[in-house]
Every structure is written in structure tokens, then in C-alpha cells.
Amino acid sequence: MSLVVVGSVAYDGVETPHGKVERMLGGACTYIALAASYFTPTSIVGVVGDDFDPQDADLLSGRNIDLNGLERVPGKTFFWQGVYSADMNDRTTVRTDLNVFADFNPKLPAAYREHPYLLLGNIQPALQRSVRAQMNGARLVGGDTMNYWINDYRGELLDTLKEWDFLLINDSEARLLSGESNLRRAAAKIVEMGPHTLVVKRGEFGALLFQKDRYFSVPGFLLDIVLDPTGAGDCFAGGFIGYLAEQGIDAASGSIDHAAARRAVIYGSVMGSFCCEEFGVDRFRSLTRGEIDARFQEFKAFTEF
């Protein structure tokens, strides 16, 4: 059940209380695709410059990620630099060099258009919409957005969301999008905007799943040590859609099956937690599906009562 992922492929400079890396592979699309690749065949759409290291491409293709939709153009790859607070719950963006990403105009290779699953990473809503329009009969479509698009591109974003089955955002973004400070009311408004399934990510505190009449709340996985939280939200998205694709879940009935959506939220949480255990994408160099399923069972054990 193949998945198409669209978004940034980047180099990141990251500083956390546990260390500093000047330049390493990053980008939302990269993290989403790596996480999803443990569940389902994954194809990416993105753009990189001529400085993109073949070894980074090898890491992705080593996980069987299809790179036919990864455009390579003259210039530099998108660069993002961030510094985390002592408790790592906040981060400050020090530098964003869009470089070749500034002119990103996603074009789907013909073979991608027939894929049933689509995850739209955080890019301009009109571009997300144009990708949606290039797909022929996708079975499940959703994605991510951020405060910048909610504030400054609201109309475009609302048009885009009308065509989505699910939306993954953090709690402050859910409040901003809905204009409601109460999360339950915020969610009730958002599920009327188009995405009938809403996942609100709350960093180390876990996640909430909302559908029309039900919700599900999951705590964060307590790690011994968090080295670098960069990409955790994207890995959550990758685990969430990856699991739904693996199970062949769609929204033909008007919504995503609730029990499947709950399990997808747990797999999302599992993938986000693994991401934090090493800097950048390093955890994905050794991670196995066995470790993922074992942590899924741990979630079951520590939330049961």
C-alpha cells in the first residue's frame, strides 16, 4: 500500500544540551519517509541542491524509499539551524536558508499518481493542494501545517484542509486554527473544516486523537535520555500514516476506523520516541521493526488499567 510523502529535504544544524552538530541530514520529508518506511513502501517528493551528499541518498534508498520524485537542481539544499532549551521543550530557529526550496514546485512522477496514500508535509498550503490534485483517487490523504500558514495563508489553508482526511498539528496550532483556547472545542471545530480525524501532538506529553464523537489520549513514552528531539513530530506523522497504509485503512466510510486510528497514534508515538534517542536521523541507521513492535507492546503495558 504505497505512500507518497511531500516536504522539505534539508541539512540541519542542531544544538541541544547534549551536543552540537553543524550539519546533518534533516527535513520533514526525510523524517516522515524514514519512519513510514518501516511499515509501507514509501516514495518522496522534494528538492535538493547539487551539494546533496550521495551517502544521504543512500541512507534513504537503503530503506527502499523511492527517490524518483527527489529533484536535484543547481544551488544549495535547504538549511535550517536550531537551538533547544535546557528541558528541550522549546527551540529557537537561528537560521533558515530556503535555498533551492524557495522555488519548490512539487511535480509527481507519473508512477506516484496512482499510489493510495498521501502525506503532505508542512509546506505552503497552495502547494499541498496542487499535489493533492495530481493524485488519482488517493484513499487516504492528510498532513501537517504550522502557525505561519495558519496566520498568513488562512484562506488557502482552509481550502486545502477541505480535501484532507486527517490533520496532525500541535496544541498551540490547534488553538490558533480554531480560535478556541479549550482543546476539546478547538478539535470539534477543526473536524468540521474537512479533516474528520485530528491528531494533536503535545511533544513529550503525548498526543490526542479526535474524531466526531470520540477521543483518545496517549501519554509520551518516557525515555531515559533525549539527545535531539528534531524530527520527532515528523516521525510521529510517518508512523501514523505508515501503519494505516500497512493495514490498508481508508476513509471510504467517511472516517478512519477508530480502533485503527488509535493504534496508528501509538505507532506514531513510538516512532517519535525513537527519533529522539540519537542526533538527527541516526537512530534510523540501526532501528528494526522488532524494536518498534516491542515498544508498541510496552505502550500497551504502561497505559493499561
Which residues are near ligand AMP by CB under 6 A? 8, 10, 12, 26-28, 80, 96, 122, 230-234
Tell the smallest beta-carbon distance from residue 10 to ligand AMP (Å): 3
Beta-carbon contacts of residue 291 (< 8 Å; ≥ 6 apart): 274
CA distance 65 to 58: 10
**Min CB(21)–ligand AMP separation in Å:** 12
Between 124 and 255, CB nearer to ligand AMP: 124
Residues in the chain: 305
Alpha carbon distance 235, 76 (integer Å): 25
- Please, which residue, 83 or 260, has the CB nearer to ligand AMP? 83
Nearest by Cα to 236 from 298, 292, 173, 301: 292
Q: Minimum distance between the CB of residue 163 and ligand AMP, rounded to whole angstroms?
A: 21
Q: CB 174 → ligand AMP: shortest distance, Å?
A: 15
How many angstroms separate the CA atoms of 112 and 109, rounded?
Answer: 5
**Alpha helices, DSSP H only, in the chain?**
28-36, 54-62, 125-134, 147-152, 154-161, 171-178, 183-190, 232-246, 258-275, 289-303
Q: CB-wise, 26 or 268, nearer to ligand AMP?
A: 26
The C-alpha cell 504505497 sits at: 2
In the complex with ligand AMP, which residue's Cβ is closer, 194 or 203? 203
**Minimum distance of ligand AMP from residue 275's CB (angstroms):** 8
Q: Strand, helix or coil at 167?
A: strand
Q: How far is CA 161 from CA 19, 126, 264, in A?
A: 38, 10, 20
> Please, what is the minimum distance in Å from the beta carbon of residue 206 to ligand AMP?
15
Question: Which lies closer to ligand AMP via its Cβ, residue 94 or residue 111?
Answer: 94
Residue nearest to ligand AMP (CB): 26
Smaller CB separation from ligand AMP, 80 or 210: 80
